[in-house]
Amino acid sequence: MSAGRTLFVFPGPDWDMGERMAAAAPGHSRISGVEVYLPPGRLDTAGVERRLRLESPGFTVPRGLIARVTGIRNRSIMSATEQASDLAVNAAAKVLAERGLPASDIDLLIFASASQDMVEPATAHIVAAKLGLHCPVMDVKNACNSFLNGLEVADSFVAAGRYGKVLVAGGESPSRAVRWTVPDFGTFAASFPGYTMSDGGYAALVEPADGSAAGVLGFGFSAKSTHWSVGTLAGGGSAYPRDPDATYFSMDGEKLKDAFLDLGSGILHSTLERLGLSWHDFAVVCVHQVSAPYREVFARGAGVPEARLVPTVEDYGNLASVTLPLQLKLALDSGRCEPGDLVALVGLAGGVSLGVAVVRL
């Protein structure tokens, strides 16, 4: 990756049969609450460069490079005593308090996040124990699209009548996987995602629409899994169970750009066409953001009016699966959207995958 180059470009509308659309029981579930927790610790981009210079005396980070490439000014950093589960718990407790619900009212907990406390057990168990829940639990994991996939699972369960109130929550702790000892520019470039990411938690309550106009209207997802190796955090699994080097982010920026070009954006257009909508019908379009330049490229390539986007990456960094709930929460709190409005949630993730959820508030 070279200075001044965006991390991704957003491709055109071509798509193939590898894409899937979910249209069963549209509007049978709704998002009745959403909250986000950001730990109070902050690290600005100048601070990232200072730490790299301190811990990598043999390598000099080009001054201002990270800010120029990403536009990121600040990021949230969890404390040494916090875990990914704690970030989710803080957000979930806010949702329950806001809705006036006791823990006993939750029928299912889905922990949907790229991060986890440990390989075993499912982090959902740890979250449930901390919240005092006594319901079934599960983890759903798909990198930065974990929230969208968790929402899809929750919507399907509610639409089928399997569960009533489903709590989808996640906690992202990427600060634990940042490489600070960098011997050369190649290692710095491969480790670059870590310098953009931020810690945080989210929670969304999904329950039956009960005849309300509000509801989850549809989903669309696509994937090109042959590109899984271009961006990894490989440690802790069977491939690299005890390799310290595998505990850091690793990404080939050029190959990741090519992967998303190969994936295409047709699933977004076909989902909107199926629902009889255009981008102009939405109050806001929440989209996963890895850099400020990427957001501009997305708007141009996908045809989204830039005024519909919710800028977050500059002041919050890349929050992985927390990004979309954060944008929705900010839009609600600022009055950019309100009950009755349509919102789109667009996610991109390593692997690689693309997804969209269409929701009427």
Domain residue spans of the chain: 20-27+211-360, 35-208
The per-residue pLDDT for 294 is: 80
What's the average model confidence in pLDDT over 4-30? 45
Identity of residue 342: L
Q: What is the pTM of this model?
A: 0.90
Residue 296 confidence (pLDDT) above 70: yes
pLDDT in tens, 110-150: 999 999 999 999 999 999 999 999 999 999 999 999 999 99
* CATH superfamily of domain region 20-27+211-360: Thiolase/Chalcone synthase (3.40.47.10)
Residue 76 confidence (pLDDT) above 90: yes
Residue 19 confidence (pLDDT) above 60: no
Q: Cα separation of 352 and 154, whole Å?
A: 22
pLDDT-derived band at 27, boundaries 50, 70, 90: low
The DSSP call for residue 235 is B
What's the average model confidence in pLDDT over 54-80? 93
Identity of residue 237: G
The per-residue pLDDT for 90 is: 98
The per-residue pLDDT for 12 is: 41
The per-residue pLDDT for 171 is: 98
Q: Determine the angle formed by the axes of helices 146-159 and 323-334, rounding to 10 degrees.
A: 80
Q: Cα separation of 264 and 227, whole Å?
A: 13
The closest of 321, 307, 315 to 279, measured between CA atoms, is 307
3-state helix, strand, coil in the chain (%, to 5): 40, 25, 40
Architecture of domain 35-208: 3-Layer(aba) Sandwich (3.40)
Rg (CA), the chain: 19
Q: Is 357 left (phi over 0), alpha (psi -120 to 50) or beta?
A: beta
pLDDT in tens, 183-239: 999 999 999 989 999 999 999 999 999 877 889 999 999 998 998 888 888 888 899
349, 144 contact by CB (below 8 A): yes
Find residue 202's DSSP bridge partners. Answer: 36, 170
Domain 20-27+211-360 matches domain 35-208 at the CATH topology level: yes
Write out the two tokens for 12.
């055109």
pLDDT-derived band at 20, boundaries 50, 70, 90: very low
pLDDT-derived band at 247, boundaries 50, 70, 90: confident
Three-class secondary structure of residue 162 per DSSP:
coil
The per-residue pLDDT for 288 is: 94
**Which residues contact residue 341 at a Cβ distance below 8 angstroms, ignoring those fewer than 6 apart?**
282, 283, 284, 360, 361
312, 327 contact by CB (below 8 A): yes
The closest of 82, 314, 87 to 196, measured between CA atoms, is 314
133, 101 contact by CB (below 8 A): no
Q: Who has greater pLDDT, 9 or 249?
A: 249
pLDDT-derived band at 320, boundaries 50, 70, 90: very high
Write out the two tokens for 89.
């718990």
